[in-house]
Structure formats: C-alpha cells, structure tokens
Amino acid sequence: MKYLPLLFSALMRKKMRTLLTLLSVAAAFALFGMLDAVRVAFSAPQSVIGIDRLITSSRLSLIQPLPYADLARITSTPGVKAVTYASWFGGIYQDPKNFFPNFPVEPESYLDMYPELVLPDAQRQAFIKTRTGAVVGQSLADLFGWKVGDKIPLRPTIYPHRDGGDVWTFDLVGIFKAAQPELRGSEKQMLFNHTYFDEGREIGQGTVGWYVVRVEDPARADQVAQAIDDQFDNSAFETRTQSEREFQLSFAKQIGDIGLIVTAIMAAVFFTLVLLTGNTMAQSIRERIPELAVLKTLGFTNRAVLVLVLSEALAMLLIGGLLGLALADLALPIIGEASSGQLDVALQPESWTLGLGLMLIIGTLVGLPPALKAMRLRIVDALAGR
Amino acid sequence: MTQRSSAALKSALPMIAASLAVAAFVGGWILTPRLVGGLGALFLGWLLLTRTGRQALAVARVGLSTVPERLGATSVVVVGIAGVVGVLVALQAMAAGFEATLTGAGNDETALVLRAAANAELSSALDRPSTTLVAQAPGIARDADGQPVASAEVVVVASVPKQSTGTDANLEVRGVGHAAWDLRPQVRIIAGRRFRPGLRELIVGQGALRQFSGLDIGDSLVLNNQAWQIVGVFASGDTHESEVWGDAESIAGAYRRNGFQSVAVRLTSPAALETLRSALSADPRLRVEVQTTREYYGKQSERLTRVIRAVGIGVAVLMALGAVFGALNTMYAAVASRAREIATLRALGFTGLPVVVAVMLETMTLAAAGGLLGAGIAWALFHGFTVSTLGSNFSQVVFQFQVTPELLIRGLQWALGIGFIGGIFPALRAASLPVTTALRES
C-alpha cells in the first residue's frame, strides 16, 4: 500500500503515453466484451432452468409437424411427469424487421412447464380462458409500448387465416416477466392459444410443432427420451427427443461458422494488444533505468522493484480493461436497440470473469520481462548509463 | 504565468489545425478517393521537384533508415494496422460472398410466385389449382411446344449431418418441374446425370456435396423415411449449389403433400412482369404475390449481409481506435527520441514543413506496409474460404468469402487513414518543439 503513490507517479510520468496506452487497452477490451457476449449467446443459450425438460420434435426435420394424437402416448410413457406442446407461427408485426418469436401454446400446461415465466394470477386465468388471448414478455411489451387490453395484429408468413384475412388479431391479456435476470431473453416472445390457432388455420390442423416433456427424474432423462422415440420408431412420424439445451444449441449450430470467425477475430485483437502494451511498457521502463537505480540506491530491495514494475503493468491492464468492459456493457443494449433486437446480447458474468483473467494474464506477460530486467539491474551500471 | 499560458495556447493552435486537417482528410478520403489521389500526385510532384520537397524526402529517408533499429516500436504500427485491415477485409469479404451467392441466382427475366405475405419459399404454400392458373397467365414465355416455361416447385428441409461437425444441419431439398432446366440455364451437370422424373432420384449441388456427408453419387439419402438415390452433381455458381434437386411430383408425394411452395416462371421480357402481376392480382381465385427473382434473392440476402457489414465496420472502428492510439504512442516516442536530431536540422535552417512531411511520410509508409500485410493475410487465408450459414429458407446456404480488389483498396484506405491520424500530431509536435529545449533534451 505504501508504494501506491510511487506507482501513481510512475503512471503520471508521461501522461500522454499512459492515456494512449489505457485507451488502446480499453478499445481492445470493449471489443472483447462485445464479441464474447455474442459467443456466449451462441454457445450457451440462456436457459439454466429446465434440466428436467425434454423436447420431442420430428426426426426428419424441424419443419415437419407431429400429430396431436402423440400427446396421449407421450404422456403415458413411464418416467414422464408432464407434457405440453407448441408450434412455430412466424407472424410478423407491422414490418419484417420487428421479428420476434411467437408460438401458439396450450396455455395452462405450458405455463406450468415454464415456471420461469411469471404472470400475475388474474392474467394467467385470463390467458387460459380467452380464446384469442395472448401474453408477451415485458421487454417485448416495452419495445412496442403494448399494454394489457391492446389488440395485436400479426401478419402470418406460414398460416393464412381461414376466413381469408391476411391478419390474425390477438387480445393482449397478460405480460410476463422472467423469474431471473439472466433469463431476460425469454421476455422477447409472444405466446397465444393453440386452440384458436388450430381452428383458424387452413393447413396442418391436428398437428403441433413440438412437445415439451418434463421427466420425473432428471438423472434418467436419457432413458425417458429413448423410450419416447422407441414408441414412434418406424411410424410415419418418427421423433427425436433431446434436452432443451441440446435443442436450442442445434439452432445456434445452424447459424454455422460464426463462432469460429469470432474466435479468430479475438485472437487477432489480442495478439495486437499484447504487442502494443508490451512494447510500450518495455520502452517506458528503459527510459526509467536511472530512476530505478536511484530507488535501489535508496534501499529498495530487488523484489520491491520487481513488484513495482509488474504492478504498473497490471494496473494499466486492469484500469483500461475494466473501462473497456464497462463500455461494452453500456454499448450492448444500445446496439440491441439499434438493430431492433436482432443482436440483443448482454455481457454475462462469465465474460467479466474471463476478461478479468485475461487482464491479469496479459498484464503479467507484458510486465514480467521489464520487471525482471529492472530487478536484475546493477546500480553502478544503471547510474553510469551503461 | 502569462508566458506559460500563451505558450500553451501557441502549442494548442497547431493541434486544432491538425484536428481540422484530420477531419478534412478523412472526409475527403471517404467521399472522393479520386480527389485525394489527385492531391497525392500533386504532393509527389512537390516532393520530387521543389527544394523543400527534396529536403522533406531527405529527412524522411534518414527517419526510415532507422526503422530497423526500432523494430519493436515500429512493428506496433505495422501489426496494429495489419490487424485492423485484416479483420475489416475478412468480414466484408464474408458479406460480399454471401450477397454474391444469393443475388447470383436472381435476374430480371425470371419471376417467382409465392403465396401472399410469405417471406420466403419455405413459408409459402400454393395448392395445385393455383399453380396451374399461374402457369397459364399472360406474360410467361412459352417453349417450342407452346408450353409455358413455368416450374411449380416444392421446397422442404431435411436433417443431414454436416461434414465439419458431424451434427445435423438443414439441407434444402427442391422438387422442380421439367421447365426448371430452361428457367435456370446456369445449372449444369458436372458429374453423373440428371434425375429421371417419377423416380426417387436426386442431384446434388456441389456446395451441398462439400458441406454435408453422404451425398456422393451412388449414396442414398433418406427423405421422410424413403431412400433416394443420388445420381448426379450440378454446379450453378449461386445459391442453388447449396440445394438438392429432384422431381417435384415425387418429392411432394414423399412428404404427403398435394401442393407446392412456389412457381418459378420465365417472363417474355422484363417488362412482362407488370402484365403478369396485374393478371394474377385480378384473379379472385388466387392470393399470390409475384416478384422478379432479382428482387426475391436481393431481399433474402439483404438482412444477413447488412448485419455482417455493420458488425465488420463496428469491430474495425474499435480496433482502428486501438491502432491509432498505438501509432500515436509509437510516433510520439520516435519523435521524442529524435528530438535532438530534429532540433539540429531546424537549427541548420530546415523549416518546419519538411520535418512535418518527413514524420508523416514515415508513418504513412509504416501504415501502408501494415495495410498491405493485413489485406494480404486476409486474402491468403480467406479468399475462397467456404462456409455455410442459415438462410431464409431455414436451411444451410453455402458460400465463399470473396476478397475483391475493391475490398483490398478499402482496407488500404483505412490503413492510410489510421496512419494519417497517428502521424499528424507527433509530426506537428516535432516541428513546434522549441529548438533550444529540444537540443538540451537527452
């Protein structure tokens, strides 16, 4: 602690250089923060609940629906506690740019299956009872300024309404919130009544998109999944049952090689960053060799000099890095807004931890060589400028 | 005290001038590269023909000759800028490749009829009577036998393992009518033969062949629990290469469908689109929308290319900031370490201008080297690099990165822009440092 003023004056010695180095570190970590948020969003969809949930969909491809009649057979499979279902609607609100997921669901069992979607009791009852009722997440409601009682028209891309209209109209009867802040992504969806959907559509009646299954014992989830699939083996509608996490990951994987490219960019950025900071540190120490020699003459131990130089590098990385991550944290919601929700990712605690680790590692990497050099300085040579 | 503040003001003036110069330069650089090129030519003439120009050149030569001694510091500029340019070029090449692959499938002579409000073929559905009505509409070209050149098509998606990951991804399966070959003359068989209508035979696009496993000639692909034989490979140079083609009737049968997704037609002329559009919208039995394939594929590529382009520029701007700070640091240090030498020159009678120009020349040379390095790496690593991603038909679109000459030039522009900003402030500092102070500096 007593070295703190010394560290501070070292950083303030060349204010311009320190500022520029800090800013370049901040720029790199701001970039790291944003890219890592994207990476996390792609590699680990935000559903930490639901380890006991399975998704049963068509084995052939996700666009193939399953017959409604499968519900009874899945429900009676041993180990299954509850079953619900949903379909993909793909409706558009006003403009294709406003894309958000909207699904017809069976209200009561779906809300039971997803306890993380929290809805006031009265609204929940209204959703169950209203044929044309729909519920949306809080962030979606905020985005479009919807409130309970509004009528929401959606233009169907797949299912025209049977009455010939190009619009399905829903009554907003409830707004749900995610139970935990990290599940905020689930507030971006709209749910409505499957019965209303099935009656209104021209094609595909009596089918559902996928079933959601809750198992009694998460440890036996694999066996239950196998048992469900075995029942429909060699039928006209073969199924594939997988955990909810796997199911969501399969969507992320479809987006393809983005993860690889993001990693490559991060590597390029960090290579550049290490080089920049390392070089500046080395240069700044070189210029201060006489000063360090004076410190040693005054009685500073070798170890103290090493710690001093190393902590200078670490301080630089930590201040700049945290500044950069904070910037990324501030910028991400703005980007999400600007892209009308298409790039809506948030900085997760995971990224902060990883970023902090990188700051420490890079700080040590760039600080250690000059620190070791400073430690090994011989006073006489240094003072003589040799 | 007053002396100091007036000195501070004096030293601030060139900074303000420099900021204005930077703004003007960057603005001009982006808006009118040709103008900047012309100015560059004038500048070159000045360098070679005038006395001050030759002085600047001489000073710059001295500066550049010391670069090998300052390899560590100068590599900060070169590598920093190379990183920016590499990332920028690579991401823009990805967007360019995706766009070219999709828009390559579109033109003004063919049109696509979808159900009203459908935003892609996959979400469209047309029943059999509708497709017959569409094919008979005016504005559609007819072949030698007097038959309309129209192909009612089925588009479905099959889960097939990808070669790179082994996990299932969506493969687009297109069932086409016999007119499809006339409609899309760019599609040609490069191995095997065409599928025979009525049989369970498929041909595979060479992009799909490379990305998915088990699609070689002779392999069989399971579609809705039926085995289909692969009998040929086709190339088209556009997004159709990511697809598998078969007979529309057979594929509709396999998926128990009695309808189609779209009707692709050849127009008698680009102007016939309006004839066709009004005829179709006047028919009360139809609820369809018609658009040229150019419009359709343009729309399909628009969203993703816009996202990739925006992300690419955002990343590059952030990296460029980092690189500018690095370059500033390096050049300030370079100027500081040569303060004595520069002061000596000025004491000998060199004016400020050659010094400024010399420092700028040095920075710009380093920046150009960085730009070339970055663009070169991006070209070597990514040109023709094949990737695939999810397209609007909920299936994989295979495309290649395209590092075009324009992208390389744009990368170089960025490099020089960063070099300019990173050099101008240290250059002005070198020219404005009081000679006496600088001579005393060690």
Reading chain A (386 residues) residue by residue, the pLDDT tens digits are 577 888 888 888 888 888 988 998 998 899 889 888 877 777 655 555 556 889 999 887 777 889 999 999 999 999 999 999 999 998 999 888 788 899 999 999 999 999 889 999 999 999 999 999 999 999 899 889 999 999 999 988 888 888 767 789 999 999 999 887 767 778 889 999 999 999 998 888 899 999 999 999 888 888 999 999 999 988 888 898 988 888 877 777 777 666 677 777 778 877 777 777 788 777 787 778 888 888 888 888 888 888 988 998 899 999 999 999 999 999 888 877 766 556 667 788 888 999 999 999 999 988 898 888 888 888 888 887 66
Residues of A in contact with B326 (CB under 8 A): 20, 24, 272, 276
pLDDT band at B281 (very low <50, low <70, confident <90, very high): very high
The answer, for B64 touching chain A at a CB cutoff of 8 Å, is no
**Does pLDDT of B56 surpass 80?**
yes
Complex confidence, ipTM: 0.80
CA dihedral A70→A75→A79→A83, nearest 10 degrees, is 100
pLDDT at B30: 60
Mean pLDDT, all residues of chain B: 87
The C-alpha atoms of residue A199 and residue A194 are separated, in whole angstroms, by 9
Closest residue by Cα to residue B330 from B61, B80, B23: B80
Q: What is the mean pLDDT of residues B77-100?
A: 91
The answer, for B157 touching chain A at a CB cutoff of 8 Å, is yes
The answer, for B386 touching chain A at a CB cutoff of 8 Å, is no
The answer, for A289 touching chain B at a CB cutoff of 8 Å, is no
Angle at A306 between CA A302 and CA A311, to 5 degrees: 150
The answer, for A372 touching chain B at a CB cutoff of 8 Å, is no
| Residue from the list B72, B159, B388 with its beta carbon closest to the beta carbon of A61 | B159
Tens-digit pLDDT profile for residues B204-240: 999 999 999 999 999 999 888 889 999 999 999 999 9
**Which range is least confidently modeled, B54-58, B105-109, B128-132?**
B54-58
3-state secondary structure A299-341: CCCHHHHHHHHHHHHHHHHHHHHHHHHHHHHHHHHHHHHHCCC
Q: Count the helix, strand and coil residues of chain A and give each as a percent rounded to the nearest 5.
A: 55, 15, 25
User: Does residue A69 contact residue A306 with C-beta atoms inside 8 Å?
Assistant: no
**Does the distance separating the beta carbons of A160 and B117 come in below 8 Å?**
yes
CA of B423 vs chain A CAs: smallest distance (Å): 14
Distance of CA B173 to the CA centre of its chain: 27
**Does the distance separating the beta carbons of A17 and B83 come in below 8 Å?**
no
Q: Which of residues 201-230 of A touch B (CB under 8 A)?
A: 203
CA of B285 vs chain A CAs: smallest distance (Å): 12
**Does the distance separating the beta carbons of A261 and B91 come in below 8 Å?**
yes
The DSSP string of A97-130 is: GG---EEEE-HHHHHHH-TTEE--HHHHHHHHH-
Residues of A in contact with B287 (CB under 8 A): 160, 164
Tens-digit pLDDT profile for residues B5-42: 555 555 566 666 666 666 666 666 665 666 667 777 78
Q: Count the helix, strand and coil residues of chain B and give each as a percent rounded to the nearest 5.
A: 60, 20, 20
The answer, for A334 touching chain B at a CB cutoff of 8 Å, is no
pLDDT at B11: 54
User: Does residue A103 contact residue A86 with C-beta atoms inside 8 Å?
Assistant: yes
Mutation target vs A (from B165, B242, B262, B329; most A CBs, 10 A cutoff): B329
The C-alpha atoms of residue A322 and residue A329 are separated, in whole angstroms, by 10
**Does the distance separating the beta carbons of B332 and A62 come in below 8 Å?**
no
Tens-digit pLDDT profile for residues A129-143: 999 999 999 989 988
pLDDT at B65: 84
The structure tokens 């010094």 sit at B355
Mutation target vs B (from A15, A36, A95, A254; most B CBs, 10 A cutoff): A254
Residue of A nearest to B72 (CA): A279
pLDDT band at B353 (very low <50, low <70, confident <90, very high): confident
The SS3 of residue A1 is: coil
pLDDT at A44: 59
The answer, for B17 touching chain A at a CB cutoff of 8 Å, is no
pLDDT at B106: 92
Residues of B in contact with A96 (CB under 8 A): 119
Closest residue by Cα to residue A376 from A368, A311, A384: A368
Closest residue by Cα to residue A131 from A197, A218, A75: A197
| Half-sphere CA count of A16, side-chain side, radius 13 A | 12
Q: Which of residues 7-66 of A touch B (CB under 8 A)?
A: 16-17, 20-21, 23-24, 27-28, 30-31, 34-35, 59-64
**Cα separations in angstroms, A19 against A43, A83, A316, B328:** 35, 59, 10, 11
CB neighbour class for A148 (10 Å; exposed up to 12, middle 13-18, buried from 19): middle
CA of B42 vs chain A CAs: smallest distance (Å): 34
pLDDT at A173: 95
Mutation target vs B (from A38, A276, A373; most B CBs, 10 A cutoff): A276
**Does the distance separating the beta carbons of B116 and A157 come in below 8 Å?**
no
B177: left (phi over 0), alpha (psi -120 to 50) or beta: beta
Between A and B, how many CB-CB pairs are < 8 A?
154
The C-alpha atoms of residue A312 and residue A305 are separated, in whole angstroms, by 11
The answer, for B224 touching chain A at a CB cutoff of 8 Å, is yes
**Does the distance separating the beta carbons of A63 and B156 come in below 8 Å?**
yes
Q: Which of residues 159-188 of A touch B (CB under 8 A)?
A: 160, 164, 166
- Side chain identity at residue A75, one-letter code: T
Residue of B nearest to A261 (CA): B91
**Which range is least confidently modeled, A37-51, A126-140, B127-141, B389-403?**
A37-51
CA of B257 vs chain A CAs: smallest distance (Å): 11
Let me know how many helices (H) and strands (E) chain B has, helices first. 14, 14
Question: Which stretches does DSSP call E strand in B116-180?
Answer: 126-127, 150-161, 168-176
The answer, for A331 touching chain B at a CB cutoff of 8 Å, is no
**A256-283 b/e with 16+ CB inside 10 Å = b?**
bbbeebbebbbebbbebbebbbbbbbbb
Tens-digit pLDDT profile for residues B75-84: 888 988 998 9
pLDDT band at B2 (very low <50, low <70, confident <90, very high): very low
